[in-house]
Structure formats: C-alpha cells, structure tokens
Amino acid sequence: MDKVIAIDGPSASGKSTLARTLSEKLGIPYINTGSMFRATALAAQKRNIAWDDEKALQDMLRTVTMEYKVNSNGEFELFCDGEFPGEALRSAEIAAGASKVGTCPAVREELKNQQRRMSAIGWIVMEGRDIGTVIFPDAEFKFFITASPLERARRRLAQEGDKAGGTLEEVAAAIAARDEQDSNRAVAPLKPAADAELVDNSNMTLEETFNYIYNKVKDAVL
Ligand code: C5P
C-alpha cells in the first residue's frame, strides 16, 4: 500500500481546502496536481503551442521542469522552469486550458510519472481527479469529495469574487461543463475509484468535512 491520502473530486468541491488543512494538521506534504495541468496549459500558451497539440505538448513537457517547493507557510507550491507562476495559474482561461491539456494521454502519462515519484518521501496528501484510480491505485486512503454544481458555484464566487468568471448561474454552468469534459474523457476520467469513500458535502461545512476525514486517517498517519 502507498502512504497516500488520495483526495479526488470535481472542481470547487472543497477538496483543496480539505487537502491543505489535512496536510497542516498531519504535518505531511500536500500536492495539488491540478497545478501541474494548469502549469502545462500556461507553459504551452507562452510557447504558442495549442492545448490540443498532443505531440508538441509531450515534447514541451520533456524540457519543462516542475517541482514543488515549501514556502514560508510550510505549503508546497509549484515552480515551473524555476519560476513561481502563482496567480497566473488561477484564471478561468488557464483552468479551461488545464482541462483541455488533461484530455491528451501523453500529457497525463508524463505528469503521472512525476506524481508517482512524489510518494517516495513518506506520507503525502495528493489531490486531483485520478489519484485513487490511476496515479495511486494502492493508496491507503481514497476519498471522492463532491457537492452539487450550484453549491460549488456559490463557494467559488465566495472565494474568488470577480475572478470566478460570472454570475452564480454562469459559474454553475461553467462548473457543470468542466465536470462533463472531465468525466467523459477517454483517459483517466473523473470518477470515484471502486474502493474510494464518497463524501457529498453539499450540506456540510468545510470544517465538518475536514473533521470527518481527519478522524478516519489520523491514527494511521500520526
Ligand atoms: O483542480 P484544478 O481545478 O486546479 O484542475 C484544473 C483542471 O486540470 C481540471 O479541470 C482537470 O481537467 C485537470 N486535472 C486533471 N487531473 C488531475 C488534476 C487536474 O485532469 N489530477
């Protein structure tokens, strides 16, 4: 079994906050794999490579370095080619690009190899879409976190305000569209692993979600 807490689920389900808090309280690294797909989209944009040009993306990823470094708050942040892309990864445009590049099998294969290497350091919390299904099928813990599109849109607006990209209805529609793209792609679609625990937190606070999961994993990790 791999010493991994796999947190999968759709966007804005609260899984990033959950994974970050688990990492803090357990004192173990937190890897947000979405950043790697976002960084791939951003690096391609800078090089004028189309988000569906699989061959060019694959060649690009062989030269681009991605590494996580710990910042002064103890959080793991992604550096791409030695630079910290920070906020540039958070735009709605780059989110859509991440979803697009994530449909390319060659991109997923490249990133998978990088993600798998990260468990060598001991317990980690890894968050994404296919951690329990593809990256770490033998993870000790697998959770699939979800909530209704409307509730997720509410959270996204509360968190990002103007950057969320529209009204509540528009954001909910964009979230549902991205779910659709992520769930229906041929490679590593967004779906719970057969042995993952499903947590629908539409009617739970993030704190309640955290407490629920923390109690399940703490004895094994601490
Ligand atoms: O989690 P985040 O919203 O940052 O992810 C951005 C996009 O990257 C997702 O919509 C998804 O298409 C893709 N992704 C993925 N597999 C992962 C993480 C993210 O396909 N493990």
Residues 6 or more apart from 163 whose CB is under 8 A from it?
A: 90, 91, 92
- Name residue, tokens 């792609």: 185
Nearest-CA residue for ligand 1 atom 10 is 99
pLDDT tens-place string over residues 125-135:
999 999 999 99
Residues 6 or more apart from 104 whose CB is under 8 A from it?
A: 52, 54, 57, 58, 187
Q: Rounded to the nearest whole angstrom, what is the distance from the C-alpha of residue 97 to the centroid of ligand 1?
A: 10
Q: What is the mean pLDDT of residues 17-21?
A: 94
Nearest-CA residue for ligand 1 atom 11 is 99
Q: Rounded to the nearest whole angstrom, what is the distance from the C-alpha of residue 174 to the centroid of ligand 1?
A: 14
Q: Rounded to the nearest whole angstrom, what is the distance from the C-alpha of residue 8 to the centroid of ligand 1?
A: 10
Q: What is the mean pLDDT of residues 39-44?
A: 97
pLDDT tens-place string over residues 68-92:
888 887 788 899 999 999 889 988 8
209 lines ligand 1 (CB under 6 A): no
- Indicate the average pLDDT of the chain: 93
pLDDT band at 178 (very low <50, low <70, confident <90, very high): confident
34 lines ligand 1 (CB under 6 A): yes
pLDDT for 10: 92
Instruction: Inform me whether the pLDDT recorded for 97 exceeds 90.
Output: yes
Nearest-CA residue for ligand 1 atom 5 is 34
